[in-house]
Amino acid sequence: MSPPLDKRAPSLPPLHTVTLTVNGKETQLKLSPWTSLLDALREYMDLTGTKKGCDHGQCGACTVLLDGKRINSCMTLAIMQEGKQITTIEGLAPTPDELHPLQQAFIDHDAFQCGYCTPGQICSAVGMMNEGRVKTTADIRELMSGNICRCGAYTNIVDAIEEVINKQTA
């Protein structure tokens, strides 16, 4: 194997002050421009509820909400998200002693096993419900397919989400 043709100049970009609003709280960080939102949350803010499963937008474990819209936090840079309302799994519940209805439904339906994809599944489900596109069970399956669960809890995940949707529309 020959070495790469374009020898890159080894230099680091300067750090920037970035203000992120996460779960209603503003935090100032010194970050590289290439720090992903996911790494900012996990490595700089100790918000480890958001998971890294692939770092390529292929598994959905890092799903968070940006102004209520679901997004793979590994696929966006922290520096791009100033001024946005970022909600992670840690900020979903109305109070620290309560659970979001989806969190409770996931427990009730045993919609997880190892738990690693779970925060992403729940954030994704919140985002999906905000989109208002779900009409059938098949819609849930389709629209939740960006979140891989290797333990195979899919049927329970669908049951949990369906229960919450039905309660909301009842």
Partner 1 sequence: MTAIGKPISRVDGNEKVTGKAKYAAEFNVPDLTYGYVVSSAIAKGKITNIDASDALSLDGVLKVFTYKNRPKLAWFDISYKDQDAPPGSPFRPLQDETIKYSGQPIALVVAETFEVARYAASLVRIEYKEDTHETDLEANLHRAREPKSGIASLLKPPPPKPRGDFETAYQDASAKTNGRYVHAAEHHNPMELFASTVVYETDSKKKPKLTIYDKTQGVTNSILYVSQVFNIPFKNLRVVSPYMGGGFGAGLRPQYQLFMATMAALELKRSVRVTLTRQQMFTFGHRPATVQNVALGALPDGTMNALYHDAYGETSQFEDYTEVVVNWGGMLYPPENVTMDYKLVPLDVYSPLDMRAPGGVTGMAALEVAMDELAYELGMDPLELRLKNYSDLDNNEKRPYSSKELRECFRQGAERFGWSKRSFEPRSMKKDHNLIGWGMATGIWDSNMLGARAEAALLVNGKLWVSSATAEIGTGTYTIMTQIAADTLGMPIEDVLFKLGDTDFPIAPISGGSWTAATVGSAVQAVCEEVGKSLLKLAKKMPGSPFKSAKWEDIEFVDKHLRLKKDPSAAVSLMTLVNLNGGKAVRETSGVFADVMKQKNFTRSAHAAAFVEVMVDEELGTVKVTRAVSAIAGGRILNPKTARSQILGGMVWGISKALHEESALDHTFGRFMNHSLAEYHVSVNADIHDLDVIFVEEHDDVVNKLGVKGLGEIGIVGMPAAVANAIFHATGKRVRDLPITLDKLL
Task: For residues 42 and 36, give the distance between their C-alpha atoms in angstroms, rounded to a whole number.
Answer: 10
As a 3-state breakdown, the chain gives helix, strand, coil percent values, each rounded to 5, of 35, 15, 45
- The single residue among 63, 81, 87, 156 that binds partner 1, judged by CB under 8 A, is 156
Amino acid at 128: M
**Interface with partner 1, residue 103, by CB under 8 A:** yes
Decide if residue 58 touches partner 1 (CB under 8 A).
Answer: yes
d(CA 70, CA 67): 8
CB of 52 to partner 1, least distance (A): 6
Is residue 59 within 8 A of residue 147, CB to CB? The reply is yes
Q: Name the one range near partner 1 by CB under 8 A: 79-87, 110-118, 128-136, 162-170.
A: 110-118
User: Nearest approach, Cβ of 122 to partner 1 (angstroms)?
Assistant: 6
Query: HSE (CB half, 13 Å, CA atoms) of 110?
Result: 3
Q: Which residues bind partner 1 (CB under 8 A)?
A: 1-4, 7-8, 10-12, 32, 34-35, 39, 42-43, 46-56, 58-59, 61, 88-90, 93, 99, 103-104, 106-108, 110, 112-119, 122, 140-142, 144-158
